[in-house]
Amino acid sequence: MAVQQRPETGTSRRAFLRHVGVTGGAGAMFATMGALGLAPTAQAASREQAYSAPKSGDFTLTGRGAAKVVVVGGGIAGLATAYELGKAGYDCTVLEARDRTGGRNFTVRGGDSTVDLYGNRQTARFSQGQYLNAGPARLPQWMVTLDYCRELGVPVEVFTNTNADAYLYNESAGMTAPVRYRTAKADVYGYVAELLAKATDKGALDKELTASDQDRLMEFLKDFGDLGDKLTYKGGERRGYTTVPAATGTPGVLLGDVPSASDVFASGVGRYFSFEFGFDQAMLMFQPVGGMDQIPKALTRAIGAHKVRTGAVVSRITQTAGGVTVTYTQGGRTRAVEADYCVGALPPNMLARIPHNLGSGVQSALEAITPQSAGKIGLEYRSRWWELDHKIYGGITETDLDVTHIWHPSYGFHGERGVLVGYYNYDTDADAYAKLTPGEREKRAVAAGVKIYGDKYRTELASSFSHHWRQTPHLEAAWHDTPGGPDDPRYKPLNEPTGRVYFAGDWLSYTDAWQHGAFTSARRAVTKLHARVLSA
Ligand code: PHE
């Protein structure tokens, strides 16, 4: 049955659904509810029903009560652990070494200060409303992070991960000016389509495809590559214009000469296109309004700030006969928390340095997981020249320079100022920048940007702030490499509780380097811990 109209009020909506149920049966009703957004679709169900949060009612018939839990680490995994356990009344204490929660979820605003492991001290001078998400900055729609934003009341907005008007720039291929994504795509897709169409036409696929399948393929290729007569690619409006079409008398002037297929392939621009095919990087993507740290802030509020001890550096985890003792120093004093259970939610490279009595299996598993590098620089500009002069609103410029990615802000459009991410790089590029002073980092990043965008990249700059995760105290990693994957048997002492100690973090998930990994890992630990408490 076709749904012609969306009933508006609650009563008429119920009546409408009853009607559908009567005439079409329960299956039709459920499908209609799905179409109306009232019942979960299969995909939403697989994401949300796999987890059910602990609740105080779970204890009603068991005669047992919630336990005391000490959570080591106030990043997303630790906060999610305390938040979820808190739903059932667990008494959680979160120990966080830094002066704020969130871990790698770090939003830099004017006045924020950091000191890296090399001793570089920086204070951000960003103006009011401007920020840099130094860590996580984009959320795919399928990740549970968005469910937490909904649940916690954190508003989200679109994050532009790909933009046809952003640039591609490969210096090593001899490019002296950037090319727009749309132009590069038109050319690469055009020539690939042309070559495949010609090969097909010559019978190269006769063994692979029937004649009618070849016809369908040809039809697709002509459309996909915008092919003209004789199956050739000749450019066209997909590449863009030097004068855009406007009123009568202004049909538009197409971008100049179409490069040869050889030049297009030599430029290497096609290597960036598959990024947006990734399950975790495809548009649309989202970001919290006002900065990614709205998530840990909301989690911390929901847990109760009094349950979170910041500046608390854990010095020992000791399993005792009936519980766990975690020792920490805070403001020069040594203290301890005694609890029934512990959840270790620090990065593995940090946990590996904390003395414990959990055995060599835990220690060697932690040491097998290696920390990786990434860095970002935020460049605040006095004007949004990328919008004014280049007509680029959000999105990412890809380069083969050591800055790697340049991000245009996905907030504050048409405002006076804006913060570009002048580099987002990994591994040796990130480490090379980390070794420079913040001033030298800025100089090097700006010199790279000038090659692509011209002088305003230097002359409009107001201030900068750079951040490198491998050199950040108490974290020392952007993400981790887990040889064999998180289910490898060697990580069993981390995936199964070791005595009364559980572990959680993105590094124990198939989505490391995403908050989704931290959230789902925390949910897994919480589920196991709660089941044990209920049956103990
Ligand atoms: N989540 C991070 C990002 O989106 C790191 C990452 C990059 C993870 C690419 C997977 C793929 O930048």
Q: Is 34 exposed, middle or buried (0-12, 13-18, 19+ CB in 10 A)?
A: middle
Percent of the chain past pLDDT 90, that is, above it, reads 89
Locate the domains of the chain by residue range: 56-102+292-370+490-535, 107-142+156-166+283-290+373-471, 181-267
CA distance 471 to 478: 9
| Backbone angle region of 485, left / alpha / beta, with phi > 0 → left and psi within -120 to 50 → alpha | left
Residue owning the nearest CA to atom 4 of ligand 1: 138
Fold of 107-142+156-166+283-290+373-471: Polyamine Oxidase; Chain A, domain 2 (3.90.660)
Identical fold for domains 56-102+292-370+490-535 and 107-142+156-166+283-290+373-471, yes or no, is no
Residue 41 confidence (pLDDT): 52
pLDDT range class, residue 453, cuts 50, 70, 90: very high
Structural contact between residues 439 and 446, judged by C-beta atoms closer than 8 angstroms? no
The mean pLDDT of 230-248, rounded to a whole number, is: 97
Ligand 1 centroid to Cα of residue 507, in Å, is 13
Structural contact between residues 414 and 384, judged by C-beta atoms closer than 8 angstroms? yes
Identity of the residue numbered 498? T
Structural contact between residues 106 and 77, judged by C-beta atoms closer than 8 angstroms? no
Residue 86's nearest CA partner among 304, 276, 358, 278 is 304
Residue owning the nearest CA to atom 10 of ligand 1: 513
How far, CA to CA in Å, does 46 sit from each of 49, 157, 280, 379?
6, 24, 17, 40
Q: Is the pLDDT assigned to residue 495 strictly greater than 60? A: yes
Q: Is the pLDDT assigned to residue 263 strictly greater than 50? A: yes
How far, CA to CA in Å, does 93 sit from each of 335, 345, 361, 377?
13, 12, 26, 34
| Cross-strand pairs, 254 | 241
* Residue indicated by tokens 């910041």: 310
Question: Binding-site residues for FAD, please?
Answer: 96-97, 135-138, 314
What does the pLDDT look like over 36-48, one tens digit per residue?
Answer: 444 445 555 555 5
Ligand 1 centroid to Cα of residue 145, in Å, is 14
CA distance 126 to 124: 6
Q: Is the pLDDT assigned to residue 31 strictly greater than 70? A: no
Other Cβ atoms less than 10 A from the Cβ of 460: the count is: 18
pLDDT range class, residue 64, cuts 50, 70, 90: confident
pLDDT range class, residue 19, cuts 50, 70, 90: very low
Other Cβ atoms less than 10 A from the Cβ of 331: the count is: 7
What are φ and ψ of residue 330, in 5° steps?
Answer: -145, 120
Pocket test for ligand 1, best of 281, 285, 410 (most atoms within 8 A of CB): 281
Residue 140's nearest CA partner among 525, 529, 517, 524 is 517
How far, CA to CA in Å, does 11 sit from each of 7, 8, 19, 35, 38?
9, 9, 12, 18, 14
How many angstroms from the chain centroid is the CA of residue 529?
28
Residue 10 confidence (pLDDT): 37
Structural contact between residues 75 and 103, judged by C-beta atoms closer than 8 angstroms? yes
Ligand 1 centroid to Cα of residue 513, in Å, is 6
Label the pairing between strands 91-95 and 308-309: parallel
CA distance 317 to 71: 11
Ligand 1 centroid to Cα of residue 368, in Å, is 21
Structural contact between residues 446 and 461, judged by C-beta atoms closer than 8 angstroms? yes
The mean pLDDT of 361-370, rounded to a whole number, is: 98
CA distance 30 to 64: 38
Two structure tokens written together for 470: 């491998």
Residue 21 confidence (pLDDT): 37
Q: What angle do CA 339, 342, 348 make, to 5 degrees?
A: 150
How far, CA to CA in Å, does 126 sit from each of 149, 384, 444, 517?
26, 14, 20, 30
Q: What is the CATH number of domain 56-102+292-370+490-535?
A: 3.50.50.60
Residue owning the nearest CA to atom 8 of ligand 1: 513
pTM to 2 decimal places: 0.91
Domain 181-267 is found in CATH 1.20.1440.240: yes
Residue owning the nearest CA to atom 2 of ligand 1: 513
What does the pLDDT look like over 152-172, one tens digit per residue?
Answer: 999 999 999 999 999 999 999
Mean pLDDT of the chain: 92
Residue owning the nearest CA to atom 5 of ligand 1: 513
For 406-448, the DSSP string reads EEE-SS-TTSS-EEEEEEEEEHHHHHHHHTS-HHHHHHHHHHH
Label the pairing between strands 308-309 and 312-319: unpaired
Ligand 1 centroid to Cα of residue 514, in Å, is 7
What does the pLDDT look like over 380-421, one tens digit per residue?
Answer: 999 999 999 999 999 999 999 999 999 999 999 999 999 999
Ligand 1 centroid to Cα of residue 512, in Å, is 9
* Residue indicated by tokens 């890992």: 521
CA distance 227 to 468: 46
Pocket test for ligand 1, best of 406, 427, 514, 519 (most atoms within 8 A of CB): 514
Percent of the chain past pLDDT 70, that is, above it, reads 91
Q: Is the pLDDT assigned to residue 96 strictly greater than 80? A: yes
| Backbone angle region of 476, left / alpha / beta, with phi > 0 → left and psi within -120 to 50 → alpha | left
Spell out which residues line ligand 1, taking CB within 6 angstroms. 138, 280, 513-514
Residue 20 confidence (pLDDT): 35
Ligand 1 atom at minimum distance from 278 CA: 11
| Backbone angle region of 499, left / alpha / beta, with phi > 0 → left and psi within -120 to 50 → alpha | left
Structural contact between residues 159 and 287, judged by C-beta atoms closer than 8 angstroms? yes
Ligand 1 atom at minimum distance from 424 CA: 12
Look at 23-27, 256-260, 374-378, 428-432 and tell me which has the smallest mean pLDDT.
23-27
What are φ and ψ of residue 475, in 5° steps?
Answer: -125, -55
Half-sphere exposure of 256 (CA within 13 A, CB side): 1
**226 in helix, strand or coil?**
coil
Ligand 1 centroid to Cα of residue 178, in Å, is 24
